[in-house]
Structure 1
Amino acid sequence: MDLILWRHAIAVDADEGLDDLKRPLTEEGEDQAKEMAGWLKRHLPRNTRILTSPALRTRQTVLRLTKTDYRVVNELAPNATPDTLLRVVNWPLSEEPVLVVGHQPTLGEVAQKLLGMQMGCSIKKGAVWWLHHRVRDGKGQVILKAVQNPRML
């Protein structure tokens, strides 16, 4: 199974008085989302299932990739637990790749858990971490296939 974690691009700061779920992307965030979406369009398998948090900033991020082929999942809202995300995507049993557009700290905690990291893990705004689960010699393994930052494309 492939699990692609895409953190939403740069959004308006939370301290500007907006409800957290209604914070939009900044102009820089729109550019980040566009850059990363271009990379994803070249690399995602056609049968990738796309799931996003209900937050405006995640929906605006995913709209740079697709206008219709995604599903808003309330369980992926800010502060979702790693276990909730893994349950929603059916890790590691899903037969199709899954792209999740979400938030810190959840995405970093998922990467940390799956990769067996001892220290905390933070995924930069707009970045993608692509994880792959396989079985070798009867044992499950997680491979980090790619890490992309929009500023490095």
Structure 2
Amino acid sequence: MNLILWRHAEAEDQAASDLARQLTGRGVKQAQAAAKWLKSRIDDDAIFLVSPATRTIQTMEAFGDRYQVVKEIAPGADAQAALDAAQWPQGAAETVVVVGHQPTLGRAAALLMTGHEADWTMKKAGIWWFQGRSRAGDDQIVLRAVTSPELL
């Protein structure tokens, strides 16, 4: 299984509610750059799970309109909730993309890499790509890619 953690792009600081915060102009450009990078690397059958926050939906819409809104990965979700939503490690599909928030995604990345949650920082519009595999009966997690809009 491929698990891709994609943090929402830059959003406005203030709105009627946290869930209503929208992307800034810079955030729209970040989302477009990240979406372009992903489009050239993932299959058409990937599943996209998106937080109900406006900024995550707008980030995802830079890629397309095939996504499921999952309230369990809303702001404040814990790391395990993000992994459970993706059905890690078996997977809801061969590739699952979770579009969410900090600190949830950074903590999920730490949990995958070390077995323990830690406050790892994921940049806005950043992408961390993990692959679960089995070698000689040993389950392994491979970090395939880490990128941010500045590198695309």
TM (norm. structure 1) is 0.93
Q: Is 1:84–2:76 an aligned residue pair?
A: no
User: 1:18 offset after TM fit, Å?
Assistant: 2.9
Moved more, 51-60 or 74-83: 74-83
| Maintained 8 Å contact 2:3/2:131 | yes
| Maintained 8 Å contact 2:133/2:140 | yes
Matched residue of 1:43: which SS? coil
Q: Which runs of 4+ in 1 moved over 2 A?
A: 117-120
Q: 1:126 corresponds to which residue?
A: 125
* Identity %, equivalent residues: 44
Q: 2:137 corresponds to which residue?
A: 138
d(CA) in 2 for partners of 1:147, 1:12: 24
| Maintained 8 Å contact 2:103/2:119 | no
d(CA) in 1 for partners of 2:44, 2:58: 21
- Which sections of structure 1, spanning at least 5 residues, go unmatched? none
TM (norm. structure 2) is 0.94
1:36-80 deviation per Cα after TM superposition (whole angstroms, max 9, x unaligned): 11111111112110010000000000000002x111011110011
- The residue type paired with residue 34 of structure 2 is M
Q: 2:6 corresponds to which residue?
A: 6
RMSD of Structure 2 on Structure 1 (CA)? 1.3
For 1:1-153, list aligned pairs within 5 A.
Answer: 1-13=1-13, 16-67=14-65, 69-94=66-91, 95-116=93-114, 120-153=119-152
- Which sections of structure 2, spanning at least 5 residues, go unmatched? none
